[in-house]
Amino acid sequence: MHHDLRQCYWFDSLTNGAGARPSLQQDIDVDIAIVGAGYTGLWTAYHLKQLKPELSIVILEAEHVGFGASGRNGGWLMGEIAGLDSYLAARNEDLRTLAYREVHSIPARAGEVLQREGIDCDFAHGGAIYAAARYPGQLAMARAHLAALRAAGHSEADYRWLDADELRQLARVAGGRGAIFTPHVAAVQPAKLVTGLASVVERHGVRIHEGSRVIASSAGELHTATSRVRAPVVISALEGYGAGADSATKSGRPFILPFQSGMVISEPLSAAIWDEIGLAGRQVLSDYSRLATYVQRTQDDRLVFGARGGYRFGGKPISSFSGDDPAFETRRRLARSFFPVLEQAAFTHAWGGTLGIARRFAPHVVYDRARGEGTAGGYTGEGVGASFLFGLTLAELVLDQDSVRTCLPWVFRGNSADVLRRWEPEPLRWLGFKAAWGVYGWEESVLSRGSAGRWHKRLAGMAGAAVARLLSP
């Protein structure tokens, strides 16, 4: 295991270790080469093998399986994707219905595969609670969110309102005034999922080489320091960890922006504390703060609390975070403001990772048949479930099998350079995020302060909403 990952509870608590696979030391020819052993690369390989078992597939991973966001995330396996409704806004109702069915069914379908393949990753399909909590301003945000979901055609069965009492039955979050509940989210232990999936993919005949960073590529050919791989089809599955490997970044205007998020985890909490918090069905929870909070109750009764990190100038993926980083103290403080009963609880680990944001603020699947090149990513922090669907979609595109999935609006045929939007050059990206995050931070501090005046709150809320609109796809 990479030393950085000892900070990460998911890897630190694995009893069967992360496994060590040899790097590739010889030149090989295969049908399909995949770069990156996170969920996207692994699910693509898995579905390819399901559809065509005789394919020879190799996965090249720079570090080790799950080193990227897939081993470090909050474990929300979502039947939602970032920007879903914007992709579908101008589409007819039939396509919308098909798309919603594909996306909402991700946790159930992934759950079936996990069970069938014997991947034990603490999967719990308990749903998600988006709570209006902590300060009164969140109630209007939650109601507006529900209205937008309804206007986009999501049903009561997909997203329903919980009043304050109903919310309290599920979770006793401070200042809880109501919530949206959706059944379409499951909780998982991310590192168990990614390492378990890697073993399954190997069992189906895929070769995985760790410590095998791709340092150069040309049509149908990849190079590591010690090998050359020839393949008519190459899939790039690097997401936020791709900066530097992706030739597009050399222009200074990448397709995917590496963005940091991080989390903290408590010690195992007593039954009495969990009685006060709730989440008995291991529902995941967040609030309407634009700090993008996310909570999970783990199978071993710890509480994981994550919140948005930031963007660093130049856009390099970051894997190592100092435990003294003030952002971790902010997350512990926020966790306690959600659940004051955590006041005395110790937090044992703090870690972070890098996720990828596409310029559309919505993810994509791209396949260029002429060049034999494919990719999927830009999940904007919602890739645990989406990678299951996108891996299947990529597999179908590679094998030229039309399906409902290959017709969905996040599927682009052609070269990435022609179909994806690029980010602005520096320093614009950095300045843009600095400004947006500054406004969000100001909004949060004003709205959460009971003493702030009504006009002050209204102004802060308007500024936050304006930035959110700018950042929506």
Ligand X SMILES: Cc1cc2nc3c(=O)[nH]c(=O)nc-3n(C[C@H](O)[C@H](O)[C@H](O)COP(=O)(O)OP(=O)(O)OC[C@H]3O[C@@H](n4cnc5c(N)ncnc54)[C@H](O)[C@@H]3O)c2cc1C
Spatial CA neighbour of 155 closest among 114, 185, 184, 112: 184
Do 96 and 153 touch, CB atoms closer than 8 A?
A: yes
Do 349 and 323 touch, CB atoms closer than 8 A?
A: no
Classify each residue of 295-324 as buried b or exposed e, where b means 16 or more C-beta atoms within 10 Å of its C-beta.
bbbbbeebbbbbbbbebeeebebbbebeee
CA distance 17 to 65: 11
Told to check if 107 binds ligand X by CB under 6 A, we report no
441: Cα within 13 Å, side-chain hemisphere: 11
CA distance 6 to 1: 8
**Which alpha helices (DSSP H) does 223-325 contain, by range?**
271-277
The residue within the footprint of ligand X, chosen from 121, 198, 208, 237 (CB under 6 A), is 237
Do 219 and 233 touch, CB atoms closer than 8 A?
A: no
The residue within the footprint of ligand X, chosen from 377, 392, 440, 460 (CB under 6 A), is 377
Told to check if 262 binds ligand X by CB under 6 A, we report yes
Told to check if 294 binds ligand X by CB under 6 A, we report yes
Told to check if 395 binds ligand X by CB under 6 A, we report no
For ligand X, which is the closer residue by CB, 166 or 199? 199
**Which residues, 77 to 96, sit near ligand X by CB under 6 A?**
78
**Which residues, 355 to 374, sit near ligand X by CB under 6 A?**
355
For ligand X, which is the closer residue by CB, 127 or 240? 240
Q: Show the binding pattern over residues 151-190: x = contacts ligand X (CB under 6 A), - = does not.
A: ----------------------------------------
**Distance in Å, CB of 249 to ligand X, minimum:** 11
For ligand X, which is the closer residue by CB, 9 or 135? 9
Two structure tokens written together for 125: 């399909």
Told to check if 287 binds ligand X by CB under 6 A, we report no
Told to check if 241 binds ligand X by CB under 6 A, we report yes
The residue within the footprint of ligand X, chosen from 7, 70, 189, 393 (CB under 6 A), is 70
The residue within the footprint of ligand X, chosen from 249, 286, 354, 393 (CB under 6 A), is 354
CA distance 105 to 466: 32
For ligand X, which is the closer residue by CB, 389 or 460? 389
For ligand X, which is the closer residue by CB, 210 or 444? 210
Told to check if 111 binds ligand X by CB under 6 A, we report no
Residue number of the CB atom closest to ligand X? 383
Give the strand pairing for 221-223 and 216-218: antiparallel
Spatial CA neighbour of 299 closest among 274, 334, 276: 274
The residue within the footprint of ligand X, chosen from 176, 258, 353, 409 (CB under 6 A), is 353
CA distance 385 to 388: 6
For ligand X, which is the closer residue by CB, 231 or 355? 355
Told to check if 318 binds ligand X by CB under 6 A, we report no
- Candidate segments 12-20, 34-42, 123-131, 201-209, binder of ligand X by CB under 6 A: 34-42
The residue within the footprint of ligand X, chosen from 4, 63, 102, 368 (CB under 6 A), is 63
The residue within the footprint of ligand X, chosen from 234, 303, 384, 398 (CB under 6 A), is 384
- Candidate segments 63-71, 158-166, 227-235, 413-421, binder of ligand X by CB under 6 A: 63-71
CA distance 425 to 253: 5
Do 67 and 237 touch, CB atoms closer than 8 A?
A: no
Cα dihedral sign, 33-84-444-171: negative
Give the 3-state secondary structure of residue 303: strand
The residue within the footprint of ligand X, chosen from 121, 179, 180, 245 (CB under 6 A), is 245
- Candidate segments 55-63, 112-120, 126-134, 430-438, binder of ligand X by CB under 6 A: 55-63
**Distance in Å, CB of 316 to ligand X, minimum:** 12
CA distance 61 to 302: 31
The residue within the footprint of ligand X, chosen from 1, 24, 32, 35 (CB under 6 A), is 35
**Distance in Å, CB of 182 to ligand X, minimum:** 14
Told to check if 69 binds ligand X by CB under 6 A, we report yes
Which residues in 211-253 belong to E strands, given as ranges? 216-218, 221-223, 228-230, 233-236
Do 67 and 8 touch, CB atoms closer than 8 A?
A: no
CA distance 208 to 192: 17
Please give the size of the binding site for ligand X, defined by CB under 6 A: 47
**Distance in Å, CB of 363 to ligand X, minimum:** 8
Cα dihedral sign, 115-119-123-125: negative
The residue within the footprint of ligand X, chosen from 4, 61, 368, 444 (CB under 6 A), is 61
Instruction: List contacts with ligand X (CB under 6 A).
Output: 35-41, 60-63, 67-70, 72-76, 78, 213-214, 237-242, 245, 261-263, 294, 306, 352-355, 377, 379, 381-385, 387
